[in-house]
Amino acid sequence: MPTKPRQFFLRHVRKMRFLPSKLYVRYHYEYFSGKKLNLDNPKEFNAKIEWYKVFYRPKILNQLVDKYAVRSYVEEKIGAQYLNQMLGVYDHADDIPFEALPNSFVVKATHTSSYNLIVSNKKQLDWAIAKKTFKKWLGKNQYYRMGQEWAYKDVQPRLIVEKFLKEEGKNSLVDYKLYCFDGKAKFIDVHIDRDEDHKQGCFDLDFNLLPFGKSSTYKSISAGIEKPENLKEMIRCAETLAGHLPFVRVDLYSINGKTIFGEMTFYPSDARKAFYPEKYNTIIGDYFKLPKLEAGKKPITTID
């Protein structure tokens, strides 16, 4: 682990997101992992995610992380039936027709991660405060807000309003996050009870609980949970969407047996959260085969 003076330095320098990416990701990785980053030969999963930020930059990634633009990609690859119903997309918070919206809905920022407002009863929502929040969202760039996640850098800030999803018998949705490497799903990161008692666990493709977790900061799913009846369909959808990408996490929902697309992510947790036990950071890192760089170590801009 870094010394206290080094940790103090890292805590401040990681806020300097204007630094050249090759330099910045070294500080970012060391601050969160306590380890030095070898960009020439990364081994662990998060080290390869930092490499991904710097060197893997096909333009299509901008579309795939955009919660609005990705819809056309999903429709083309697996069909519109896997998309949640969209109620509108807006450039400005003031443009959202609040009175015309149903009693329950979800508002998401299309250009970033984790900026979502779930409205189960709009009569209980202070719309004026919500609009102020949306305006703050629209004024932030994910690349500079987080750890230089390149795919988000040039995404147009917008707000998308979608249908409120509800799974029968559950207070919150189960998140199924499929980790795909070279177009093949390797395991599923499952999150349950987000609104009550958030727990996480990793499962194999037959939905057996695996002996590792995404982060020690989460409560663990300690026993098996019900296998979704559409699991094979979810795996097929995720792998089709992943295509030839070296790595992407495809997030899906199972709503009363119906597969619904969530989002595609290239930098899970911004490379901040490590798998545990420790050895799985390398084991999962081995799944992630980095493509060869172009001459002069220039970023990769095409997909083979």
* Segment 232-267, tens digit of pLDDT: 999 999 999 999 999 999 999 999 999 999 999 999
User: What pTM was estimated for this model as a whole?
Assistant: 0.95
pLDDT of residue 194: 80
Q: How much is the pLDDT for 193?
A: 85
Which two three-digit tokens encode residue 247?
């790595």
Half-sphere exposure of 142 (CA within 13 A, CB side): 25
Judging by DSSP bridges, how do beta strands 219-220 and 247-255 pair with one another? Answer: unpaired
- Rounded Cα–Cα distance for residues 153 and 156 (Å): 9
pLDDT, residue 171, reads: 78
The larger pLDDT score, comparing residue 268 to residue 168, is at 268
pLDDT digits (tens, 9 = 90+) for 107-121: 999 999 889 999 999
Where does the pLDDT of residue 198 fall: very low under 50, low under 70, confident under 90, or very high at 90 and above? confident
pLDDT at 189: 97
CB atoms within 10 A of CB 178: 23
Predicted local distance difference test score (pLDDT) of residue 223: 73
Residue 301 confidence (pLDDT): 94
Domains of the chain are: 4-46 (no CATH), 85-166 (3.30.1490)
Q: How much is the pLDDT for 71?
A: 98
